[in-house]
Copies of this chain bind each other. A is one copy, B any other.
C-alpha cells in the first residue's frame, strides 16, 4: 500500500451503479487528490466511465465481476448468492486483505451489514456493530448511533457504541474529548430502561478519559446538537432518524405549497430565493451522505442508494477521512482504555494486597 488512501468501491451498488459511482469518485478526487480507487463490478460498464476522466483513470484499477447484490435482496440471499463473488463482497474483501483502506457501497444496507460482519468480522471485544449517522444540528453536526444495525443493546454494548462514536467524532470534528449523551425519555421515575441507566453508570464511573459524558439527552436534543455523540440502540435510533427525515420533508412540502399559492408569495419567494437556497443547502441530504459501520475490523461506508454523484462523493470523502485518521485504531484505543483502566485498577489493588501480604 502507498501513502495514499486506497478506496474500494462497490461500483454496482445503489440505484444507478457505475454511472454515479465513477463520477462521484472523480468529484471526491478533485477535493482530496491523495486517493486511489479499486472499482469492483462489471468492467464493460465501468471502464468507459473511468477512462473518460484522465485524472480518475490514472489512480484507478478495476476488478471485474459479473455478480451484483440487488437493492431488494434479503441479506441471507445476498450472502448465499453474492459471497466471494459479488462486487459488494469483493470490495469488502479488499479491505480484509489490506489491499484497500476502506470500502464504500451504495448497495442495500442489510446485505452490506451482513456481508461486512461475515467478511471483516468484529473487532476483538466488540459484540455488536453499529451504523453511525451524521446528523445536521443547529450547532453544526452530531454523530448518532446505532441507527439500525441491530435491535436492542445491553449496557456494555451501549458503552461500546459511546466509545466507537467518540472515536469517529474525534476524527470528524477534530476535537480531543467529544461530549456524549445517552438517548432517553423524559418521563420521571420510569426514566429509561435498565440498560440505559446502567450504561450511564458505567460511562460515569468506567474511566473513559477521552469521553466527556453528559448524561441523558432527549429526542429534541438531536436537532439542537446538545452533544457531539448521541448513543442509543438500533430500534429507537432508526425511528428517530426516519422521523426527522420525514418531518423535514413534511415541512418542505408545506412551505412549497404555501409559497406557490398566490402571485405575491411567488414574488416573495423569488426575492428571498437566496435564503431558500441556503436553507435547501443546509438540509441537503447529500452533504451528510454516508453511514459509517462501526465495530468491524475494517472501515465500511454506506452511501444512500438513491444519491447522485455529489452525494456519493461525500460518502467517499467520509471514508477517506475515517481511513486517513485511523478510525479502527482509535476505536481500539478507546476500548482498551475503557477496559484497561478497570483492569489497571484491579491490578493495582492486587499489587497493594501482595505488598501488604509480603510486609
Contact = CB atoms under 8 A, between A and B. Distances in A.
Given A236-B235, A279-B255, A250 B219 contact: no
Contacts of A76: 189
A185 B223 contact: no
A265 B192 CA distance: 44
Contacts of A221: 246
A183 interface: yes
Contacts of A258: 275-276, 278-279, 282
Nearest to A188: B110
A246 to B, nearest CB: 3
Contact of A234 (B187, B254, B276): B187
Interface stretch (A56-64, A97-105, A147-155, A332-340): A147-155
A74 interface: yes
Interface residues of A, number: 72
A271 B264 contact: yes
Contacts of A275: 255, 258-259, 261-262, 265, 268-269
A234 B186 CA distance: 11
Interface in A253-310: 253-255, 258-259, 261-262, 264-265, 267-276, 278-279, 282-283
Nearest to A274: B265
A235 B265 contact: no
A234 to B, nearest CB: 7
Contact of A247 (B183, B244, B262, B269): B244
| Number of chain copies forming the complex | 2
A49 interface: no
Contacts of A151: 185, 187, 190, 192-193
A72 to B, nearest CB: 9
A130 to B, nearest CB: 12
A185 B239 contact: yes
A123 interface: no
Contact of A220 (B183, B223, B245, B265): B245
Nearest to A273: B268
Interface in A123-139: 137-138
Given A150-B190, A151-B190, A249-B223, A262 B274 contact: yes
A65 interface: no
Task: Determine which residue in A183, A236, A247 has the highest number of CB atoms from chain B within 10 A of its CB, and name it.
Answer: A247
Contacts of A269: 268, 272, 275
Contacts of A192: 151, 235
Contacts of A137: 250
Contacts of A109: 187
A235 B185 CA distance: 6
8 contacts: A76-B189, A137-B250, A151-B192, A193-B235, A219-B238, A219-B244, A223-B249, A243-B247
